Amino acid sequence: MARRNRRKHVVPGAEQGLAAFKAEVMRREGYAVDPSRPDDVKYEVAQSLGVPLSREGGNGNLTTEAAGHIGGQIGGTMVREMIRLAQEQLVKQRQP
């Protein structure tokens, strides 16, 4: 049974911006990212981590830990970049 995406963004309509941000951040990390399909980067991340993630589905044998490694690599990288950008903005605000 396929799970439906129930994730809701705090800002309605932010999906495209977040997808573009993910594509840019992961591209800078050295992953080949198709900007029109940024979620596909998870397959490249999985391969680089040695996690057997299948594009055809049937990933029921994937452990929570393995899935977490994939998501952590992507999400952690995005969070670090968001923190860096916020710090940069704070520095700019303090400058006269």
Q: Where are the alpha helices (DSSP H) in 10-51?
A: 15-28, 41-49
pTM of the model: 0.75
In a domain, 81, yes or no: yes
The pLDDT of residue 2: 52
Residue 7 lies in a domain: no
Question: pLDDT for 38-51, tens place per residue?
Answer: 888 999 999 999 99
Q: Could you tell me if residue 2 is inside a domain?
A: no
Query: Can you point out the beta strands (E) in the chain?
Result: none
Asked whether residue 23 is domain-assigned, the answer is yes
Asked if residue 1 is part of any domain, the answer here is no
Q: How confident is the model at residue 65 (pLDDT cuts 50, 70, 90)?
A: very high
* Overall domain count for the chain: 1
Q: Is residue 5 part of a domain?
A: no
48: domain range?
Answer: 15-94
What pLDDT sits at residue 1?
A: 43
Q: 36 to each of 17, 69, 78, how far by Cα in Å?
A: 12, 24, 18
Average pLDDT estimate for 44-68: 89
78 is a domain residue: yes
Q: Name the average pLDDT for the chain.
A: 87
